Structure 1
Amino acid sequence: MPVSATAVAAAIPAIEVLQLSKHVADASAPAGRLTILDGIDFTVAAGTTLAIVGASGSGKSTLLGLLAGLDTPSEGSVRLDGEDIYALDEDGRALLRKRKLGFVFQSFQLLGHLNALENVMLPLELRGDARAREKATEMLGRVGLGSRLKHSPKYLSGGEQQRVALARAFVTEPPLLLADEPTGSLDAATGEAVIELMFELNRERGSTLVLVTHDNAMAARCQRTITIAAGRLA
């Protein structure tokens, strides 16, 4: 019996990490280089949630940046939906991010000269989406900021800025969402509200979520957890 294209697509991991290593030059380290990541291997099934945990300096944020193609590995490869992102040039990786990825940063990374609506519209406008304003307005309403569309980041609280960042990450409906310590800059109560919203949006859209966190409670909400210790999978 022939296998359907849908079944084949479902069998391809959303993320496949193969012998991924990252070294940087360091004159004080043995052999003149410092190893940040060393031979990392794992896969993430489409539609699942994964937490990457580890002590500060263990390499987990570096790993997330490599998954997004924001940095280049010293060895190894990363495949997103079966596509080796490091077989692409920088422009190719940027195009892939535009098509497949949403990214949530601990420090929000909102553009200060744009208001909340314009920040969320931006990735849609970069895609040439004629409904950018409509979709961004709807998404900001979804995260509870329908009355704050015209406010610039400096007039928003930390929790509001992170909700704008979530709206921006989700508005293009990416199949993969990466989040780096998404509540690290927030107080406990605000952080919990942002966590709830992030998982709720992710369930609604059926996307794959990979997050870096030091928060055990957040990690426990993911279907799977991996631990990085001294650059290796623990």
Structure 2
Amino acid sequence: MMTNNAIEVIGLTKRVSDAGGELTILDDIRFSVAMGESLAITGASGSGKSTLLGLMAGLDVPSQGKVNVLGTDLFSLDEDGRAKFRASHVGFVFQSFQLLPNLTALENVMLPLELAGHDAEAPALEALAEVGLEHRLHHYPSTLSGGEQQRVSLARAFISRPALLFADEPTGSLDVVTGARIIDLMFRLHQDHRTTLVLVTHDPNLAKRCQRVVEIHAGRLASAEIA
């Protein structure tokens, strides 16, 4: 059943076992994200914020708790079901860009729609023009700068007009000036397409660009405030 929340995180807990015993990475996390909202997840390295993002996207399975996304209980779906749900509703931007090196910029952006069985070239051309890369269509990732690769990643993330965009340290591999340009572009696309944006960052200036900040400390929710 649809609500005005895009995401509801309910009692989310993640534990793993190692040689030293059981380790709790996340402990009883609870919050929601409204439709169209921008939310930053912050915290020190190792606090569990990237694990939380992966669980919210259904890339990992919790030890306890639920994540409702667009009214769907993610963990009521099997792995294939979650993958199909992501393909239909979710875009991703990663620190390491995650571009396929043997594909051109155009081919990388076309890939999500092609995998879904849709015509992809015209939307990919439009998406690359939207990020200012219409002159770099046939370049391979190795011939693109870090900023250009991240713009290709943004175009790929937005090509299917996702309801949700997850970004994990999207400027972590970029210099300050290039990172600022990428952030401006990401927030413009977020606003233009009315996408719900959830990003992980250790950068307080980036967090301030979001409407709300969730802070994770040692696996627990430390605060959830308006930035």
Give the counterpart of 2:207 among 219, 225, 229: 219
Specify the alignment match of 2:225 in structure 1: none
Q: Which has the larger radius of gyration?
A: 1
Give the counterpart of 2:38 among 31, 43, 49: 49
Query: Deviation digits for residues 15-73 of structure 1, max 9, x if unmatched?
Result: 00000011111222xxx111110000000000110000000000000000111111111
1:12/1:82 contact within 8 Å kept = no
Shift of 1:123: 0.4
Specify the alignment match of 1:178 in structure 2: 166
Alignment-mate amino acid for residue 95 of structure 2: Q
Shift of 1:170: 0.5
Partner of 2:91: helix, strand, or coil?
strand
> Which whole-Å CA distance do the structure 1 matches of 2:19 and 2:10 have between them?
28
Alignment-mate amino acid for residue 60 of structure 2: D
- Aligned pairs for 1:1-234 (under 5 A) are 9=2, 11-28=3-20, 32-130=21-119, 132-234=120-222
> Which whole-Å CA distance do the structure 1 matches of 2:101 and 2:209 have between them?
32
Query: Deviation digits for residues 132-173 of structure 1, max 9, x if unmatched?
Result: 101101111110111100001011111100000000001110
> Which whole-Å CA distance do the structure 2 matches of 1:128 and 1:224 have between them?
36
1:183/1:191 contact within 8 Å kept = yes
TM-score with structure 1 setting the length: 0.93
RMSD: 0.9
> Which whole-Å CA distance do the structure 1 matches of 2:115 and 2:109 have between them?
11
TM-score with structure 2 setting the length: 0.96
Runs of 4+ with deviation above 3 angstroms: none
- Name whichever structure is richer in strand by fraction: 2
1:112/1:154 contact within 8 Å kept = yes
Work out the percentage of aligned pairs sharing the same amino acid: 63
The count of residues paired between Structure 1 and Structure 2 equals: 222
Extract unaligned runs of 5+ from structure 2. Answer: 223-227
